[in-house]
Amino acid sequence: MRGTGLTHVADALGVGRSSLYHYYPDKRTLVADLLREMLAEEEALFDAVLAGEGSPSARLERFFREQLALFDAWSAIAPLLFELRSSESRRLRPFFRRIRGKLEALLREAQDRGEVGSQVDPFLASASAIALLDGLLLQYFVEPGAFDREAMADALVRGVRRAIAP
């Protein structure tokens, strides 16, 4: 993103600079809007999985699979995502707190139903799951051909099942 101005963005979008400047007076405003939209989409997906049918374990598995399914789309904007995550950490904190809290609640529900072991710390497990997905996204972006996304989803789900087993 550094070295990329609104002129570059307008060219990439195939719109005139004046059209883009009409909505975004500067790059920071555009980036803030993009970040807000991306986080809202990700959280809506997460909420849909949580509210979906099935046991907590089934919803957790669906969460991982659906997140990995987005990697192709996200890898196209990965440089921006990773820069935003470092430069806009203040804006990301509430998002990560909400996501961790929701994932933690799902893990606690799974513990209450005997689907997740009592040795699992739901807060640490939720933070680890998010970190794992972010790390996989980085690898997928840096070297897209390094792993098959579907095979990775299967391996991830198997590993998570073993890690949280009762």
Give the pLDDT confidence of 106-142 residue by residue, as tens digits.
Answer: 999 999 999 999 999 999 999 999 999 888 888 888 8
Neighbouring residues of 101: CB distance < 8 A, sequence distance ≥ 6: 126
| Verdict on whether the full-model pTM lies above 0.85 | no
In the chain, where are the structural domains located?
33-164
User: Distance of CA 125 to CAs 44, 88, 110, Å?
Assistant: 21, 24, 12
| Among the ranges given (66-70, 72-76, 91-95), the one the predictor scored with the smallest mean pLDDT | 72-76
In CATH terms, the fold of domain 33-164 is Tetracycline Repressor; domain 2 (1.10.357)
According to DSSP, residue 1 is labeled -
Residues 56, 107 contacting (CB under 8 angstroms): yes
Give the pLDDT confidence of 79-99 residue by residue, as tens digits.
Answer: 766 666 667 677 788 988 999
